[in-house]
Amino acid sequence: MSFLPLFSSRLMASPLVVLTDFHAVTNRALSYAAGLAEPLQAKLVLLHARYDALLAPLDDDLPYAPLNDQATDRALQRLANAQPVPTLVEVSERELPEAVRAAVLHHHPLLLVLGQPGGASTPAEVLTSTAETLLSTVPYPLLLLPALGDWQAAPPRRLLLAVDGQPFVLHQYQDVLRQLLGVADGTLAVVRVADSSHGRLGVDAILRTVATHDLTDELAPELLSEVDNISVVGGVLAEAARQHTDLLVVVARRHSLLGRLFHRSVTAQLIEQSPIPLLVLPAQD
């Protein structure tokens, strides 16, 4: 893995790792990551897996061909130089999951950032497939930025955590919400959707599943909504719209992420359909 340092090192918060192969990083996504890193006093790491086609646009006729090595390095450096925060470029010869695993071990980032590969013209399923691959092989907080949607620049101020009301155990990353809430004096609300297969649990029972993990300071009951909807995904997105949410947060269990209820898991549907940034926190099995 080659490193292109652009700024002198100094004590900073955990960095944000932005996944890119040029087709996958848009100005909007990179601007969001930088806008989040700035108040966190964190650097960015632009991670490029040179020979990995996972983030490349789909083309049935042509095989994936990486850009010229020197052209890649120059283009990445120009991107990094344009950022308002210290930015490091890493170019890996490994496939994306292995490149991400190495970056996580080396940098211990706050989270990973992934924009819609290829922009708005690429099917949303490409983003979902890439996210599922990463979450199943390198379970780490993953911030997904849709190509479309009327979402605002970072940092987010109104966060909505979608839960299913069942106990969960996170990895060692629960501090990510505290840090995000702290930089903009943000608020965190919680939503749980009751559908025909999952009845209401009540506010107290749902709050207990959140409070036991110390995700944030104590939540007031009025910050939790339990709504009825024929679709869990529809209920979550409707509540996010009602609350003018800036960032949607979901706890993804490995079995529910990779398993298929009907055609797609709830997590996969949220990745594909959310019009606002989505932070996926992986839970342990």
pLDDT of residue 104 exceeding 90 = yes
What's the pLDDT score for residue 55?
64
pLDDT given for residue 195 in this prediction: 75
- Max Cα-Cα span within the chain: 58
What is the pairing mode between strands 187-194 and 42-49? unpaired
Q: Report pLDDT for 217.
A: 63
- Identify the CA nearest to 281 among candidates 188, 184, 151, 183: 188
Mean pLDDT of 68-78: 78
One DSSP character per residue, 122-152 reads: S-HHHHHHHHHHHHHHS---EEEE-SSS-PP
Kindly report the three-state secondary structure assignment for every residue of 12-58.
Answer: CEEEEEEECCCCCCCHHHHHHHHHHHHHHCEEEEEEEECCCCCCCCC
pLDDT given at position 264: 58
pLDDT tens, 217-262?
667 677 888 888 888 899 999 999 999 999 999 988 765 544 443 3
pLDDT higher than 90, residue 44: yes
The CA–CA distances, whole Å, from 57 to 22, 71, 115, 119, 124 equal 10, 19, 13, 9, 11
Q: Domain residues of the chain, as ranges?
A: 2-145, 158-282
Residues in contact with 26: Cβ distance below 8 Å, sequence separation at least 6, in sequence order: 115, 116, 119, 147
Which one of 47-51, 198-202, 254-258 scores highest in mean pLDDT? 47-51
Query: Considering only CA atoms, which of 47, 261, 49, 256 is closest in space to residue 135?
Result: 256
Q: Are 88 and 47 in contact (CB under 8 A)?
A: no
CATH T-level fold of 2-145 = Rossmann fold (3.40.50)
The chain-wide mean pLDDT, for the chain, equals 78
What is the fold of 158-282? Rossmann fold (3.40.50)
Strand-by-strand arrangement of the 247-252 sheet: 2-4, 87-92, 42-49, 13-19, 111-115, 142-145, 278-282, 247-252, 158-162, 187-194, 224-228
State the pLDDT confidence band at 4, using cuts at 50, 70 and 90.
very low
Most confident range (mean pLDDT) of 53-57, 125-129, 175-179 is 175-179
| 264 CB burial (10 A radius; 0-12, 13-18, 19+) | middle
Neighbours of 252 (CB within 10 A): 25
What pLDDT is stored for residue 125 in this prediction?
A: 75
Predicted local distance difference test score (pLDDT) of residue 62: 46
Least confident of 85-94, 143-152, 230-239, 245-254: 143-152
At 261 the pLDDT is: 35
Name the strand (E) or helix (H) holding 106: helix 96-107
Residue 267, pLDDT score: 86
Q: Do domains 2-145 and 158-282 have the same CATH topology?
A: yes
More confident residue, 282 or 38: 38
Cα separations in angstroms, 114 against 21, 41, 88, 137, 198 = 11, 20, 16, 15, 32
What is the per-residue pLDDT across 117-131, written as a single tens digit (0 to 9) for each? 655 566 677 778 888
Residue 68 has pLDDT above 90, yes or no: no
pLDDT at 204 exceeding the cut of 60: yes
Phi, psi of 278 (to 5 degrees): -125, 125
- The yes-or-no verdict on residue 71 having pLDDT over 90 is no
pLDDT given at position 30: 86
Q: Which residue has the higher pLDDT, 150 or 43?
A: 43
Q: Is the pLDDT of residue 33 over 90?
A: yes
Helix or strand run (H / E) with residue 279:
strand 278-282
* Poorest-pLDDT segment among 138-142, 147-151, 234-238: 147-151
